[in-house]
Amino acid sequence: MSGSRRSSGPPGSDRPSPGVLRLLLFLSVLLAFSSPITAKAGRPLTLCVHPYLPASEIQKRFTPLASYLGRELGVPVYLHIAKNYDDHIRMIGENEMGLAFTGPVSYVRLVVSFGPQQLLGRLETNGKPEFSGVVFVADKSPVHGLSDLVGKRFAFGDIESTMSHIVPRHMLWKAGVTVDMLSRHSFLNSHDNVVLGVLMGDFDAGAVMDEVFLRYRNKGLRAIAKTPSISEHVFVAGKGLPPAVTKRFRKVLTAMKNSPEGREALRSIKDSVTGVVPVSDSDYDNLRVILNDLKRIGVAP
């Protein structure tokens, strides 16, 4: 009979009690943080790097860092080199990586397109968290200043590059030289290509970061202008990572300078790297001024 059926209580009383729910929640959080840290469920962590140098060179420089992070984080870290700067920004913004190393201009664009990011730290080189570049010519060139470049051939790197396009383009503009006043200008994709273009005589001048210029200077190059200092390249975490995991990443990166293995991995990026230091979004405000100036005259990466 229907009346002999024992009531289980009011509607909804078959659900777990609040105490059970709290226990289940605690266990799920505990399980999540005891599992390997991944960019997406079931996948290893990906370290994504923008293509500011040839792919083979980036592979060589960043593999030691990926290996070090993998050991410290207890999860495989695989290196991914973006095919171009736009793809790199998209991958970070759409959370297709767990960790990324990106240039200053790309970072500023990333924030504009995808909002605030989970910052982990910026490079420190020779004890400073900023870097600079040069505009240069061949040793025997008659060019001695930026204003002398009117009617000359100029080589830029990637259109997104901080020191191989954006900052020197701004410098040329402030010196009264716009690209339509050059006889020709081209984007050669990488800093090394810019140097080789000038050395081979295909271009009269070019712009690269200090590190690349110093590597080739003795082959017959001369600097004619120094760029202002810009906040260094930055590490960001994927937005999908929990804050506690991001905090762990930040701690591992900023502690690298305190161990021989960590310092060795950092120096593999370039010899002058001395650490990863705290960073804030405002560190890139002077670059934003440069980008806004260029935007007003119709130049935008």
The answer on 149 and 116 residing in a single domain is no
The answer on 161 and 274 residing in a single domain is no
Give the chain's domain count: 2
Report the distance separating Cα 3 and Cα 187, nearest Å.
85
Contact in structure between 188 and 155 (CB atoms under 8 Å): yes
Residue 148: CB partners within 8 Å, gap ≥ 6?
A: 142, 224
Give the torsion sign (CA, 49, 63, 44, 30).
Answer: negative
- pLDDT on residue 7: 38
Tokens 């161990």 belong to which residue? Answer: 259
The CATH number that applies at residue 142 is 3.40.190.10
The answer on 67 and 124 residing in a single domain is yes
Does the residue 301 lie in any domain? no
Report the distance separating Cα 148 and Cα 125, nearest Å.
32
- pLDDT on residue 200: 97
The answer on 205 and 57 residing in a single domain is no
The pLDDT tens digits along the chain (301 residues) read 433 333 333 334 344 444 444 433 433 333 333 333 444 443 578 999 998 888 999 999 999 999 999 999 888 999 999 998 899 999 999 988 889 999 999 999 999 999 999 999 999 999 999 999 999 999 999 999 999 999 999 999 988 889 999 999 999 999 999 999 999 999 998 899 999 999 999 999 999 999 899 999 999 999 999 999 999 999 999 988 888 888 999 999 999 999 999 999 999 999 999 999 999 999 999 999 999 999 999 987 6
The answer on 242 and 200 residing in a single domain is no
The answer on 124 and 145 residing in a single domain is no
Report the predicted TM-score, pTM, of the whole model to 2 decimal places. Answer: 0.77
Report the distance separating Cα 69 and Cα 164, nearest Å.
29
Beta-bridge partners for 137:
205, 222
Residues spanned by the domain of 262: 45-129+231-281
The answer on 108 and 62 residing in a single domain is yes
